[in-house]
Chains A and B, each alone.
Chain A
């Protein structure tokens, strides 16, 4: 059974463009719908292959032709068979998206406030969800090659923007007072190289301070 309204969101889900609530609904759906999960896993594999192809996807050259010829032979003579459905898809997506590899240069992204352009994903650690009091720090996982990170916290007035070379910022003093019990906030982190090239952008994530 097809679910067009779900299928329309597959790309946004995989590219981290859905907000938390929508992403949660999306995930809940594919936990119940094998066909929609299959489409999502297939699309993830397609994205991984496109990223692996890199700039060569629009200008197939000698290196690409050689690789294609080699793979055509492999297709005809030695098709792979795998035991676990989905496990290799996830693995290959991880390899191509987040593993150092030879081949085409990684996508070079420019610092542009209006574009949401991503390379790797950037995972936020804390604060997440409902928390008992104002966060003591904002922390995230590193991105390979990043020299600095810019964090934007929304919901405070004015919006709080900090650039740091660390993987966290501490909240103290007057900044701590900006977080009020009973309110929700959202934050997002972007990673940049020393030249100001954006490498990754996290999903914008919300948290709520309990009363």
Chain B
């Protein structure tokens, strides 16, 4: 959806797009890359500055505009890194200890919820996500159609969301599931 540039709430844009930019940046740079947060912040700062400076004219949606800025910054980062293609020294990609602890706690909760799912869901999740078989191979191994595999994953996700909500635990942080 395209909105008039003057109608944009920059704070709302920052809050909304930070995790979205972060997902694309991390997937592009590699989840282990320690620079992802810096790159994400740079993209957000650049986008806000451009919008504030009147460079966003509303020719595209704000999402597409920020997506373009993100893509370009990722390419620039990768080109810069290509000049020194050797890996970071080991140990420099550690997140803050407090963040890591919180992340691991969060992960433990979700993992336990997944293990608590009925066997037919766990079976599909094992083949499709843990072993990363194709949808077709997963279907063949357990006697389903590929469409049924997708349905079962979808229902597993729904059931997980419901179970977590009943436990007072949102699927995603900050959501009101």
Per DSSP, chain B at the interface is helix
Contacts of A129 in B (CB 8 A): 75
Q: Is there an interface contact between A46 and B18, defined as CB atoms closer than 8 Å? A: no
Distance of A37 Cα from B17 Cα, bound (Å):
10
Distance of A93 Cα from B95 Cα, bound (Å):
13
Contacts of B99 in A (CB 8 A): 91
Q: Give chain A's interface residues, CB within 8 Å of chain B.
A: 8, 11, 14-15, 24, 27-28, 30-34, 37-38, 40-58, 60, 64, 67-68, 70-72, 74-76, 79-99, 107, 115-118, 120-121, 123, 125-126, 128-129, 137, 139-142, 167-168
Q: Is there an interface contact between A95 and B107, defined as CB atoms closer than 8 Å? A: yes
Distance of A125 Cα from B30 Cα, bound (Å):
10
Q: Is there an interface contact between B86 and A167, defined as CB atoms closer than 8 Å? A: yes
Q: Given contacts A57-B125, A95-B100, A95-B103, are A51 and B130 in contact (CB under 8 A)?
A: yes
Contacts of B110 in A (CB 8 A): 45-46, 48-49, 52, 92
Distance of A116 Cα from B138 Cα, bound (Å):
13
Q: Is there an interface contact between A94 and B67, defined as CB atoms closer than 8 Å? A: no
Residue-wise, chain B 98-114 has the 8 Å CB interface mask toward A (1 for contact) of 01101111111111111
Q: Is there an interface contact between B67 and A85, defined as CB atoms closer than 8 Å? A: no
CB A125 to nearest CB in B, in angstroms, measures 5
Q: Is there an interface contact between B173 and A42, defined as CB atoms closer than 8 Å? A: no
Contacts of B63 in A (CB 8 A): 28, 31-33
Residue of A nearest to B25 (CB): A90
Distance of A15 Cα from B127 Cα, bound (Å):
13
